[in-house]
Amino acid sequence: MTPLLAVDRLRVEFPTRHGTLVAVDGVSLSIAPGEVLGVVGESGAGKSLTGAAIIGLIDPPGRIGAGEVRLGDRRIDNLAPEEMRRVRGREIGAVFQDPLTSLNPLYTIGRQLVETITTHLDLSMRAARRRALDLLGEVGIPAPERRFHHYPHQFSGGMRQRVVIALALAAQPKLIIADEPTTALDVSIQAQIIALLKRLCREHGAAVMLITHDMGVIAETADRVAVMYAGRVVEVGPVADVIHRPQHPYSKGLMGSIPSIVAEREELAQIEGVMPRLDAIPPGCAFHPRCPCAFDRCKKERPELMNAGATRSACWLVVQ
C-alpha cells in the first residue's frame, strides 16, 4: 500500500550567526491511510518541528534544508505558500497543544467553523452552517445551536479542544497532525479528548500523527510509534514492541523512567545527563555520551535505522 504521508530524510535547519543549527536531522517516517503514528520524545527532540515542517509552518529563518515530504503521490514541501495553505486544512488538519491560541478570540466559534468550511469545501452558507452544527454535535459539545454563537473564552479548556478538533475535521482531511493535544488538560478531560480523537479519526478514515511526550497517551492511541532524540528518529516500530521490548538504549531508558500506577518500583531507571543542545550535538550517535553501552564505533559513525527484532533501531548494538 502506498503510504498516505512519506517523509524522507527531512532536515530542518536554523541559520544563526554562529553557524547553522540542525534541529531535525534526516528524519524518515511514513503513515498509512487510517493509521495512528505516535511521535514521542523529550523537549528539544525535534518532534514538533517535524510536524510543523510537514504542514509548512516553520517560521523563518528556519527552513527545510533537505529531504522531501510527500502526501499521496504529491510532493508538498516545495509548494508555494498559497498552495500550501490550501493543503493545510483541506488535506491535513492540525490540532495544537493550547486550544486558546488556535482559536481567534474575537470571532464566535460558529463563524470560525463556517469560515473554515467555506474556504475548503464548495458549500452554501446554509449548508456550511448545518455542517458546523453537526461537527459541534459530533465532538460532544452540548447544545450546539446555542454554543455556535459563543466566543472561545466562554468555553472550558476541554470544550475548546473539542472545538479545535471540529475545526481540524471540518474539511474532512486525510491526515491530522496533533501536537500535544492533551498536554494542557486534566487527566479526566484528557481521557475524553483521546477517546474522541480516536473515534472520529476512525469514523472519518483520517490518519493521525500524534506528537506527544506522554507515553501513556501513545500506548493507548497509536498503532506505531517513533522515538526521537536530538533531531533524529532512534527507534520506530509497533507500539507494543517499542514499549515492552525497546531495542535502542535511549528508548529503554525512557520507558524505565516512567513511573507507573501499576508496578511498585523502589528506583526509577535513570538516564544520566541531559539531551545535548543543538549547537553541541556529538558526532556519531548523538546518544553515545549518555549511553551505558556505547563503544568505539558509536563515537565515530552515525547509525541509521536497522531491523532489530520487531522494531527498527538506529543503534550499532544491532549489528554488534
What residue spans of 2-57 are helical by DSSP H? Answer: 47-54
**Is residue 68 involved in binding other proteins (CB under 8 A)?**
no
Size of the site for other proteins (CB under 8 A): 42
C-alpha cell at 214: 506522554
C-alpha cell at 203: 469514523
Closest C-alpha to 33, from 204, 192, 170: 204
Strand 224-229 and strand 232-238: the pairing is antiparallel
Residues 262-281, mask of contacts with other proteins (x by CB under 8 A): x--x-xxxxxx-x-------
Closest C-alpha to 29, from 41, 21, 38: 38
Q: Are 67 and 58 in contact (CB under 8 A)?
A: no
* Closest CB 265 distance from other proteins, rounded Å: 7
**Is residue 213 involved in binding other proteins (CB under 8 A)?**
yes
Residues 218-257, mask of contacts with other proteins (x by CB under 8 A): -xx------------------xx--xx--------xx-xx
Using the rule CB under 8 A, give the single segment among 71-79, 117-125, 160-168, 212-220 that binds other proteins. Answer: 212-220
* Per-position b or e across 191-217, b if 16+ CB within 10 A of its CB: ebbbebbbebbeeeebbbbbbbbbbbb
* Closest CB 260 distance from other proteins, rounded Å: 6
| Residue 129 vs 150, nearer CB to other proteins | 150
Residues in touch with other proteins (CB under 8 A):
42-43, 156, 158-159, 186-192, 194-195, 213-217, 219-220, 239-240, 243-244, 253-254, 256-262, 265, 267-272, 274
